[in-house]
Chains A and B, each alone.
Chain A
């Protein structure tokens, strides 16, 4: 049986791991390669690096991190942040990422989804959607949650799936950094609207949150950062808790 995936996410700035609370207040917590390997040993199903520097001159740093990680990590690695062009996708995959995640670039240039899916395969194209609850439903934000795109979240999710995305990484801006739990409503709405896997992100503070987003939220995978970095729980402990609740985990 296909298991539900637990995916630790590392925010990386200038080659070092940080975790933003509501995308601010960054605290340095270590080397991305070492942390990724530690997560594999703990039973993580995949690892995501989100490059939050992403200035042109620092693109090299994350590619070097990808290369060093591919030497030592034997579970899938996704890299997001600062992916703007077809060339960025190609370079990031060739450096050692298994998937790339694109957000702002997908909104600005939806054809990029189709072009990269065609040449590298849908499976390596993850579209990240940052969503915020508004009076008229959930709306998509770009540029690290700072800019409203005007797009409806559910409609955009369907569209990226049609364009060739292999997965959706859905982050609730409202929930992110709160540790109060994932946004189950928007997660289940997106999971029901598309026929590609959905990774839930934003708000995780406990194993119970992960359990509810994988059941009531109908997500295929749960991404979390702070609970793993700060040692609130290990990946193994989360999986034990999910197993006790009868969820299929590795």
Chain B
């Protein structure tokens, strides 16, 4: 059974994310302690909170965490968890991990937050394997990485295209919430658990 460590930022609902990975066959431990997070076999970065707060929380072990991810620590990141993998954000102060290049920007749409089910265009790479292109997934955010070239593997349009999923090595990041995306989301979660379990 795949041991997964969920980094708890201390705000919001993490139950559904934990449960969705458990249903896919992972054993999820919730952690706030940096030493235990750095010792993880595989990491789960949840999607609740604000950029500044999350950046401040990871600041004390930022370089160690980045090094672990660069050395091949498998990780699945959702929403704000994805955004923190970029260099910085228009949403708030603080440094992201900088594993992905670029800055997270505010969406350019008249109605924000972007809330609801939107179609995701992709070519079936990484998280999206076995998911039809233009499948609907659940989004809730006002900021997103605008870079739609590598490492981006899926895009969505809401006042312009943004990165809906990015992949680098064993780090998979998605802007939508698979744990809130019913059966399609469950498939994406299972893809990660299978990918890491295969080694």
Contact = CB atoms under 8 A, between A and B. Distances in A.
Contact of A74 (B114, B116, B181): B181
Contacts of A75: 138, 180-182
Contact of B136 (A74, A124, A220, A250): A250
Interface string A83-103: 000000010011111100000
Contact of A197 (B11, B16, B111, B181): B111
B191 interface: no
B159 to A, nearest CB: 10
Contacts of A4: 116
Interface stretch (A115-123, A179-187, A226-234): A115-123
Given A70-B13, A70-B19, A76-B140, A122 B113 contact: yes
B112 interface: yes
B112 A74 contact: no
A123 B136 contact: no
Give the interface residue-count category, chain B. Answer: 35 or more
**Residue among B20, B117, B118 with max Cβ neighbours from chain A (10 Å):** B117
Interface residues of A, number: 36
B16 A70 contact: yes
A4 B136 CA distance: 12
A67 interface: yes
A5 B111 contact: no
Given A2-B118, A123-B141, A250-B117, A74 B111 contact: no
25 contacts: A2-B116, A2-B117, A2-B158, A40-B182, A70-B19, A74-B180, A74-B181, A74-B185, A76-B138, A76-B177, A93-B13, A95-B15, A96-B15, A96-B16, A98-B12, A98-B13, A98-B180, A119-B11, A119-B50, A120-B11, A122-B142, A195-B110, A195-B111, A197-B113, A220-B116
